[in-house]
Amino acid sequence: MRGIGAYGLFYDPTFIILIPAMLLSLYAQSKVSSTFKKYSGYRNSRGYTGKDIAEMILRRSGIYDVRVEHVRGNLTDHYDPRKKVLKLSDSVYNSQSIAAVGVAAHECGHAIQHNTGYTFLKVRHAIYPIVNISSKLAMPIIILGLIASAFFLKLGIILFSAVVLFQLVTLPVEFNASSRAIGILESNAYLSYEEIVPAKKVLSAAALTYVAAAAASISSLLRLLLIAGRRND
């Protein structure tokens, strides 16, 4: 089976391994979009904006060196640990919706993780530089390996494994941030009991996208291992 070539990477029976993860990814994207849109239409009873919630949670958590800023786009919210900036998107920053409050609280969860030295976040930050390089080099080297040498194929798979590891480490980081967010919103009565349920739904839908990404990476790695195994037969 040494004549598989790069063509086999894209047109090969092992491609079927990717289908479940692809379907899960499509479902996850649809779910997070529809859930966020639905609860963006419900104003929270306290009248807090995403910015209000973020600032209150940060201060209550004893974090005074993190700025809350606006960033363009929809669901482009993120916490930048290098600059210590929590960025909230168009649909969250000035919005008083339940969805906006949930997302803002989730991003605060990441800031709290950073402040308290949450283990999995530290691991993710530590391996990010390696993963950043690996993600760019893995596929070209894998294609080279399919064309030229099994050595390059194995090297490409090792590099891609770093990407898979990053996706797996991301899962507890995201789950923990959501758990912190819901706990804070509930214990401080930033949302009413009835509003906590839809906030959980928004964050659960968002978490599913990370599960789908991890599943896609694992499926791709498994497929590459099968292709490499066939090449060595």
Residue 200 has pLDDT above 70, yes or no: yes
Pairing of strands 78-80, 67-70: unpaired
Cα 56 off chain centre by:
24
Q: Is residue 185 part of a domain?
A: yes
How much is the pLDDT for 4? Answer: 47
The residues, any chain, with a CB within 8 Å of residue 203's CB and separated by 6 or more, are 102, 103, 106, 178, 181, 182
How much is the pLDDT for 233? Answer: 54
Q: Which helix (H) or strand (E) holds 148?
A: none
Q: Is residue 223 part of a domain?
A: yes
Q: Is 107 a catalytic residue?
A: yes
How much is the pLDDT for 229? Answer: 84
Residue 8 has pLDDT above 70, yes or no: no
User: Where in the sequence is the domain holding 177, given as residue range(s)?
Assistant: 7-232
Q: Which of 107, 174, 186, 194 is catalytic?
A: 107
**Rounded average pLDDT over 11-30:** 91
What are 130-171's pLDDT values in tens digits? 999 999 999 999 999 988 888 999 999 999 999 999 999 999
Q: Is residue 160 part of a domain?
A: yes
Q: Is residue 142 part of a domain?
A: yes
Report how many domains make up the chain. Answer: 1
What are 36-88's pLDDT values in tens digits? 999 999 999 999 999 999 999 999 999 999 999 999 999 999 999 999 999 99
Q: Is residue 1 part of a domain?
A: no
